[in-house]
Amino acid sequence: MSRNAPRSLAVVTLLALSALTAPQAVAEAPATGGDVQASPTETEALSGVRSAVVRAAKNRLGVPYKLEYGWTCRESVMDCECFNRNAIWHGTKNATGRGLQLNYWLQGQINQGRKVANPRPGDLVFWDTNKRDGIRYGGDLDHTGIYIGDGKVINANAYYDRVVTQSVTLGGTQRDPLFVDVLSRNGY
C-alpha cells in the first residue's frame, strides 16, 4: 500500500459524498397554476409501487418526531427527511425487491426527482414553513412529506411531535408547496 493510499481514499470518499449532495438541475414540468389538482391516475388504481409507498407512509403514522442529523435514520423516531427515506425505501423495496435510497438532505431529495405540477400519490412535497427563519435548505424549503392523494400529505411534524396526516397546505398555512416525483425519475 503506497504512502498516499489513505489520502487517495479520503479524496475519493469526499468526491462520492459531494456527488450525493451537490446541487443539480431539476427538470420542471410545465406549471398549470394555483391549486393542487388531482392527476387522472389518482382516481384510478395506483401503480403497485405508488400504492406500496403510500402504505409504507401510513404505517409510520404516530411515530415520534425527533430531529436527526447526517445520515442517521431510525424506525423508532424520525424527522421529515428520515420519514421520506423510510417510506420510499420500504415502499419501493416491498413492491419491486429493490429499495430507492433517498438522499438525507432536502435539496438532495429534490435533486433526485422531477418537479411536477399535478402530484400523484407517492410524490414528495416540500414547503417553506417559516419565511422569516432564514433557513436556506433547498432554496428556503425547510419541510417535506409524502403526498398520498386527495390533497393530503403524511409528514413527520415537529409541531405535533409525531408523524401525522394533514392537508397539503399544512392546515392552510403553506400556499405554495413544491411537488417532486422521485419514483418515475428513478425507474419505478
Instruction: List, for residues 122-161, the tens digit of each pLDDT value.
Output: 999 998 776 665 554 445 678 899 999 999 999 999 989 9
Question: How much of the chain exceeds pLDDT 90, in percent?
Answer: 52
163 contact partners, CB below 8 Å, separation of at least 6: 60, 61, 62, 63, 65, 78, 83, 154, 155, 156, 157
Q: Write down the H helix ranges in 24-157.
A: 40-43, 48-58, 80-96, 106-111
Residues 8-26: what's their mean pLDDT?
Answer: 38
Distance CA 74, CA 104 (A): 12
Q: Does domain 40-186 have CATH number 3.40.640.10?
A: no
Q: Where are the domains of the chain?
A: 40-186
